[in-house]
Each structure stands twice: as structure tokens, then as C-alpha cells.
């Protein structure tokens, strides 16, 4: 993954929500059948739940993540725009 600040003195840093988006992508949460609960995401990423909730909310507002309700629990996965966003970071 790119070092976001590399070589660009006035350059940007990759926001936390995009780091999370990349992780969700790499874990494989790229379609509804492979969506993950907050608990599962927390286990994969070792991030605490309140921080995750806030970042996921941001990603939802940006249209990069959506959720489905399964047995009363919200399960998250990337949208097409979310996948494209990640690929644009990696290429």
C-alpha cells in the first residue's frame, strides 16, 4: 500500500476511513454474501467498536460501504464505488 505522505511535502495523508475501506476490501467484504458484522470487523482490524462505528458511518455516507440486516445484526460490505476507490489507491 502506498505511503500516503511519501515525497510530497505539502501532500495529503490517507484518512482513517480509507484505511479501513482498504482493510475491508482485502478481507474480502466485497459483496453482500461476504459481508461482516461489526464484531467480525473489529476482530480482523483490531479496532475498537466505537471508532469502527464512526468510520463505517462515514464510509456509508460517502457511498463506499453498505450494510444488510442478517438476524438482526448489521453486516457491512463494499459497494462498487467502494471497490473502485480501493483499486484507485492500489494502482
Partner 1 sequence: MKVCMLSWEFPPRVVGGIARHCEGLAKALVRDDHDVHVVTLDFPGSPSYEDMEGVKVYRTATELGHPNFLTWVLLFNHFLEKRMADISRQVEFDVLHVHDWLTAFAGVSFKHYLKKPMVLTVHSTEIGRAQGLHSADSFSIDGIEWWAAYEASRVVVTSHSMKREICDHFHLPWDKVDVIPNAIDVAKCNASVDRGSVRARYGVGWGEKMVLCVGRLVPQKGVEYFIRAVPIIAKRYPEAKFIIVGEGWSRDYLEGVAQSTGHRWKILFTGFVSDAEVIALMTSADVLVVPSVYEPFGIVALEGMATGVPVVASQVGGLAEVIEHDRTGIFVYSRNPESIAWGVDQILSNYDHAKWLTQNAREKLHKTYSWEAVAMKTVEVYKKAGG
Sign of CA dihedral 79, 81, 82, 83: positive
Position 81 contacts partner 1 (CB under 8 A): yes
Position 28 contacts partner 1 (CB under 8 A): yes
Whichever of 27 and 38 has its CB closer to partner 1, that residue is 27
Q: What is the CA 22 to chain-centroid distance, rounded?
A: 5
Position 89 contacts partner 1 (CB under 8 A): yes
Residue 78 has which C-alpha cell?
463494499
Whichever of 10 and 71 has its CB closer to partner 1, that residue is 10
Q: In what order do the strands lie in the sheet with 36-37?
A: 36-37, 73-78, 65-70
Q: Interaction with partner 1 in 36-75: which residues (CB under 8 A)?
A: 44-45
Of 16, 31, 51, 73, the residue at the interface with partner 1 (CB under 8 A) is: 31
Q: Quick check: 86 and 78 in contact, CB under 8 A? A: yes
Window contacting partner 1 (CB under 8 A); options: 18-26, 49-57, 65-73 = 18-26
Amino acid at each position: 500500500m502506498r505511503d500516503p505522505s511519501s515525497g510530497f511535502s505539502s501532500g495529503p495523508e490517507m484518512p482513517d476511513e480509507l484505511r479501513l475501506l482498504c482493510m475491508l476490501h482485502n478481507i474480502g467484504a466485497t459483496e453482500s454474501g461476504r459481508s461482516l458484522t461489526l464484531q467480525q470487523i473489529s476482530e480482523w482490524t483490531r479496532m475498537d467498536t466505537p471508532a469502527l462505528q464512526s468510520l463505517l458511518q462515514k464510509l456509508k455516507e460517502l457511498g463506499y460501504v453498505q450494510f444488510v440486516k442478517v438476524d438482526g445484526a448489521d453486516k457491512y460490505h463494499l459497494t462498487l464505488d467502494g471497490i473502485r476507490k480501493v483499486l484507485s489507491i492500489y494502482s
